[in-house]
Structure formats: C-alpha cells, structure tokens
Amino acid sequence: MRIALFGGTFDPPHLGHLAIARAAAEAFQLDTVLFAPAGRQPLKLDGSPSSFTDRLAMTTLACKQDKRFRASAIDAPRSDGLPNYTADTLASLRRALPEDTLFNLVGADSFLDLPRWHEPNRLLELAEWIVVSRPGFSLADFSREDLSSLHLTPHQQSRVHLLTTVHEDISATVLRQRLQAGESCTDALPSAVSTYIHTHHLYH
C-alpha cells in the first residue's frame, strides 16, 4: 500500500487541504491519505485557537469526501506535554506498517521551513516527500541557501517530489479571520465542517 501522512493544525480543515490531498493521491497513486491534526505543532507553539478534539472532529467530517482519506489521532497531544514531531510520527508509522511505502505530504510553505523542523535529515530517510505548490511560496526557493545548508545527500534529495500543478489560494488563518468577522466561508469549507463550526460556536 502507498500511504501518505498529511499533518497540520487543520484549524479548520478547508477545501485547499482536500484539493491537495486529492491531487497527491492521483499523481502518486496513493491508497490512503492520513490527515493527522497535531496536538502541539512544534512550529506553532503559541497554540491553535481550537481544541484538538474539535480539530479532529472537523477533520473526520472533511475526510468523508473521499474514500482514500482518513482522519487519524496519531498526533494526539502527548502525555509528556512535548510537541508532536513528524519524525516520531513517521517512525511509528514505519514500525506499524513495515511493508508499505510511506509519504509525507506537505505544502510549499511547510517545506520551505524544513531547516526549522526537528531532525530534517532523518525525516527524509523515513519517507518519500510530496511537496505541493502553494500561491505565494516559490518552490524555486528549494535551492536557496538555508535549504542547501542541510547538506542533503543525493539519496535524501531524490526522495523529494514536487507537485507544482496545484494553485489553492486558501489559508486557515484567513478563514479564521473571515469566520470571526461573521462570514460563513462556504466557498472554502466542506459543508459538514461549516455546520460543525456554526453548531459549536468556533472562531467567535
């Protein structure tokens, strides 16, 4: 099986996330995309506005749109209070699924942050990477100095696959601002997620 981990804050999960996962599933013949909301995202330690429970519930609703998509609690908040590191998540998936081909799915903005991730070189050993284009973030910057400072081996570099055909101009930050201003954002949210937000009075 070909399985992609798709980590994020998913606060809220939006149509951009679904479009990215669908494009990656088509281009890389993925059987499963595991949407994994992070209990504590290491690079966003000031916290998410919504609880992990709400983010997982919304992600579960969003994943009903495609039978290849599954919401996963693999990155639930840790009992020791530490952030959820993707390297640890991929390592535990690798142990649980020794025969499967593992991918780590990220948007261009996350990938350009790779030097700030925990154990970047190990991350590229643990999985193939699918990096999806995002408006406002140039993947040409892949060769910029701070990435080359990682001294990736040719093998690690060969595990990075770029998917440059996606142009989804949606961000959760902008959606939270619009929701707070009273907009419904049905243009950018799966309808079940809109309903959940409304019912649970999120982002007010």
Residue numbers of the site for ligand ATP (CB under 6 A)?
Answer: 8-11, 16-17, 20, 106-107, 109-110, 132, 134, 168, 170-173
User: With respect to ligand ATP, which residue has the nearer C-beta, 95 or 194?
Assistant: 194
Closest separation between CB of residue 107 and ligand ATP, Å? 2
Nearer to ligand ATP, 136 or 182 (CB): 136
Kindly tell me which of 93 and 106 has the beta carbon lying closer to ligand ATP.
106
Which residue carries 């998410």 as its tokens? Answer: 48
Phi, psi of 102 (to 5 degrees): -105, 140
φ/ψ region of 47 (left if φ > 0, alpha if ψ in -120 to 50, else beta) reads left
Q: For ligand ATP, give the closer residue by CB, 39 or 151.
A: 39
Contact 36, 5 (CB under 8 A): yes
Min dist CB 26 to ligand ATP, Å, is 15
The residue among 100, 103, 107 whose CA lies nearest residue 128 is 103
Q: Least Å distance between CB 98 and ligand ATP?
A: 25
Instruction: Kindly state the smallest distance separating residue 133's Cβ from ligand ATP, in Å.
Output: 7
In angstroms, the CA 179 to CA 88 distance is: 34
User: How many Cβ atoms sit within 10 Å of the Cβ of residue 35?
Assistant: 25
